[in-house]
Structure 1
Amino acid sequence: MPTLTVVVCRVCARVRSIWVDGCFDMMHYGHANALRQAKEMGDYLVVGVHSDAEILKNKGPTVMKEEERYAAVEACKWVDEVVRDAPYVTSLEYLDRYNCDFCVHGDDITTAADGSDCYQEVKDAGRYRECKRTQGVSTTELVGRMLLMTRDHHNRTSSTSTTTPIAGSGTKTSVSHFLPTSKRIVQFSDGREPKPTDKVVYVDGAFDLFHYGHIEFLKRAKELGDYLLVGVHDDATINRIKGSNYPLMNLHERVLSVLACRYVDEVIIGAPYSVTQDVLEKVAAVSIVGHGAAPAIPDVDGRDPYELPKKLGIYQQITHDGGSMHTREIIRRIIEHRQLYEDRQARKEAKARLEAEAERAEKERRKQADQV
């Protein structure tokens, strides 16, 4: 697994350092948005990631393995430093150890196994800040999509969530209706144009349930040049090519996940499945077109989607360490241990109710304190 190395002089100038911690299981654009908001509150972002053992004790089994979760956080472009095996309950001792001024967390309550607020100590010390939680996505909700394996997530025309029971469990999981905005895309995008001297590399794909394999692929692709342009195919194209219930995440969800990756410079939203002359010329002058080691699925007309770049002599195969990780593997983990994750969903739902009650009580306490 790669280790993130960031060199920053925190002696020459006063740097405002921020602490964020979490599980970051199946890291998605909601996690990335929280890290983006936290980074805006300071200069240097330190992110603590809990171990599998800590999460199992306090929350339940993870979908992604420990090293996969570490790698996912390290690849986020707003993160400066990652602390592995961070404690589940946030302490002042850890904030001080990493020279962090305060801790940032979403505007929801997180509790430990004993029901206590994980952030009570830093809250009492006045070293706690909140960022806005991204609505419409969570690891629990994504697991729910895989358990249901429904096509409903392809049709998000309503602003009202649909709640569907998971067969045999009595648990309910909601299908999110993510509402994309141009503002969110801009927030995630660097907007950097390639320099005339830059060697532009183009890769494309679904990037569904963005994971370690995607990260390693994009990292290797970026090493081939100076500017990485990524094409993300739309939902209908992926469903037509892959069939079944793919993709699990819709186009804009997948675009945001790709944009949050530190190796990516720009994204073509809804890129054509087969690489065209427009793809090679209209956004930037592409020098290399890359694809993973696995054979490409033919386009609907039976043709090789990389026929043009191969003919032009600019096609290159990309091999990487994360080749064994793919979206189907994540789904396999969920389906193989279905009962385990259905039980987890039920516990999460019960815990969410308790946390919501605690949050209401906390707001009432603050309201009463303000009136004194």
Structure 2
Amino acid sequence: MDRRTLRNLDFLFIFITCLLLMASLVILSTASTNVLKSDPWHYVKMQAAWIMIGIGAAAVLAVIDYEKWRTYRWWIYGFNILLLLIVFFFGADAKGATRWIATPFGFNIQPSEFAKIFIIVTLADFLAERKGKLNNYKDFILPFLFILVPMLLILKQPDLGTTLVFVAIFIGMMFVAGANPWKFGGLLLGGAVIVGVALWLHFSTNLPGWLHWAEGLPLPMHEYQLRRLTIFMDPAADMSGDGYHIIQSIWAIGSGGLWGKGYQMGTQGQLNFLPEHHTDFIFSVVGEEFGFIGTVTLLFLFLIFLLRSLSIALKARDTYGMLISAGIVSMYTFHILVNVGMTSGIMPVTGIPLPLISAGGSAMLSNMASVGLLLSVNLRRRRLMF
């Protein structure tokens, strides 16, 4: 790249990203202290290492013209499916799920995290070829089938949270690709109604005679996943079971007050009452120890991050770049809203981490790869005329 191209670099976006990465290390230095008592700084050191690797990956992806990925669409798509299939044959089990592949270097990788990036890059090209041709219901079939295969493989692991992220990515990119808003929106609304009715029938036990046959309607999901989708509406109904995470999280955030209890002074997190407080429920630690001011500050940084990402999408030089950016924005937005929502008790617990903040090597590398792709689109937002 020459100096004229580098003039397009979004320094505010880079600055906000760096602030979020630094916030991750600060928050993890208190959230993970008691997770591994033999090495209190284990997760901070691992996170710092993955951040450095992620910065390198982001830099490489930023230098590469994003248009080059179009040439390898089907290769990338096939590699994505292959990685997800390998999980079933050589995957490592943890907490009742098979989502990771063990490496000889002493750490595991989670292919479903990288699958999100692969599907964004490939679906963007698939939809770019069909922009302006997504006006009828039949036009939605092929894009849906394109994303359905990796979604089903991830759901089978099982990983409901990442499966839902795929849905968010698909919806965001379809609208940006020009899908008829009334027809596509109507399908989404109809699908939501069907899911709601199916859940109601599954958990119903005293239906009228003419609906008695539908009581306990079987659904293609594990029972614990179904309970997690509904327990947030009344977590007190199972305080020691599925509602435990939500109750502990609400107590943690609520007890922080305006300024919080102070660094490493929280009780729910430090005493390990709050499960997964270094990953899925790390936002609860922010609320408990840094209070309302801390949570608002973090959410403000995310807001600026998303606005800059959206600006990159709007200034993209072509449809492909815009769709890549839209997919990434959809992914980040869904992650943030659902993670904050589930820790606050207003959304189901789906096991979705807080991007750029939660501990996790695969998630951090995936997030930084997304940053690199956004920078690649941003750097090439205008064609050089001389």
Q: TM-score range by the shorter chain?
A: under 0.3
Looking at secondary structure, tell me which structure has more strand per residue. Answer: 1
Q: TM-score, normalised by structure 2?
A: 0.24
TM score, norm. by length of structure 1: 0.24
User: Greater relative contact order (Cα 8 A, min sep 6): structure 1 or 2?
Assistant: 2
